[in-house]
Amino acid sequence: MRLSCFLCCLSCLQASFLPPGRQLPALSARHLARRVASPPLLSATKRGPIPYGELTVGVAAEDAPRERRVVQDPKSVKLLVDAGFEVRVEAGAGAEALFSDEAYVEAGASIVKAKAVWASDIVLKIRPPSVAQLELLGDRTLISLVNPSANVHLLERLQEQGATAFSLDCIPRMLSRGQTFDVLSSQTNIAGYRAVVEASHAFGRFFAGQTTAAGKVAPAKVLVLGAGVAGLAAIQTAKNMGAIVRACRRRALSHRGSAKWTRTWHVAGTTCARPSRSRWRVSAVSS
């Protein structure tokens, strides 16, 4: 993984992402440009860029209630180790995700306590850190889902400490090089899958139709509201379970300088759009 690819998300931590009326007074445009051009960790010093072998990467455990994810699994840790990084994993970090400490050790990481993880040059974490964890971070580097618009106090604290923060949820996904770092679509896709699983449990019977000697049972009919990333995952999951699936999505269409809302139905691989006071139009669903 090239850490330089994360440079594009530094600009997303400026005041333009803060709520109206909230600013970071000490973070000027000139200062921000200087930090983007040469962040403390990746800047070229007199002896040149810092080799990977001299950098430590810390994998922090998630402490939020009901959070079972871990920021690095043993396979990704092995990639970092093979690249030359020294990886420190907090004890029990992958327990909720069914990754044992022994698996991380086999991948080449060392199991340490939380304080040693936050003393690493680069700290990896999914959820935003707490104030106590930021104190342990100091002026080093954090890669996480900072969510700057909702965690203004964390931005102010990171700025005061002189730390470098990479907010993965702010990486522009329109760029080809940024799509591999997308952390939003992947989690939204899982949410759409889980929504159908939860719905099938609440439904009370199976989704697929059945034909037995005692008679027939019609398949369930599922309506998915919204056909974005989560909606498409829900549609596919419900179809795989044997249900009859329909989806509805509203989108604005420009017509003679004005926006009109249309009702769009996705049924069995086709899109049926019905503008107001007109007949149905049918076209193939685009990928």
- Residues 136 and 247 placed together within one structural domain of the fold: no
Give the end of a domain, one of 127, 154, 179. Answer: 179
Give yes or no: residues 60 and 155 share one domain: yes
Residues 49 and 142 in one domain: yes
Q: Where are the alpha helices (DSSP H) in 114-228?
A: 114-117, 131-137, 152-161, 176-179, 184-203
- Both 13 and 133 in a single domain? yes
Can you tell me which residue has the tokens 């999505």? 249
In the prediction, which pLDDT does 49 show? 85
Per-residue pLDDT of the chain (287 residues; tens, 9 = 90+): 444 344 344 334 333 334 444 444 444 334 433 443 334 444 444 557 889 999 999 999 999 999 999 999 999 999 999 999 999 999 999 999 999 999 999 999 999 999 999 999 999 999 999 999 999 999 999 999 999 989 999 999 999 999 999 998 888 877 777 777 888 888 899 999 999 999 999 998 889 988 888 889 899 999 998 888 899 999 999 999 999 999 887 765 444 444 444 454 444 444 444 444 433 333 333 33
> Which residue is it, tokens 């909230």?
22
94 lies in the same domain as 153: yes
User: Which residue, among 18, 96, 86, has the nearest Cα to 52 in the 3D structure?
Assistant: 86
- What angle, rounded to 10 degrees, do the helices at 184-203 and 229-240 form? 40
Q: Are residues 150 and 233 in the same domain?
A: no
Does residue 155 share a domain with residue 91?
Answer: yes
Q: Which domain holds residue 224?
A: 185-284
Q: Say which residue the tokens 């080809």 belong to.
A: 176
Residue 68 and residue 107 in one domain: yes
CATH code of the domain in which 106 resides? 3.40.50.720
162 backbone φψ class: left, alpha, beta (φ>0; ψ -120 to 50): left
153 and 134, same structural domain?
yes
Regarding whether 212 and 172 lie in a shared domain, the answer is no
What pLDDT was estimated at residue 210?
87
Last residue of a domain, one of 162, 179, 196: 179
Is the domain of 32 the same as that of 158? yes
- Reduced to 3 states (helix: H, G, I; strand: E, B; else coil), residue 247 is strand
CB 280 within 8 A of CB 274: yes
68 and 175 in a single domain? The answer is: yes
CB atoms closer than 10 angstroms to residue 15? 16
The residue to which tokens 């040469």 are assigned:
38
Give the number of domains in the chain. 2
CB atoms within 10 A of CB 63: 13
Domain end point (choices 121, 154, 179) = 179
| Cβ atoms < 10 Å from Cβ of 100 | 12
Cα gap 284→200, rounded to integer Å: 28
Report the 3 state secondary structure along 33-72: HHHHHCCCCCCCECCECCCHHHCEEEECCCCCCCCCCCCC
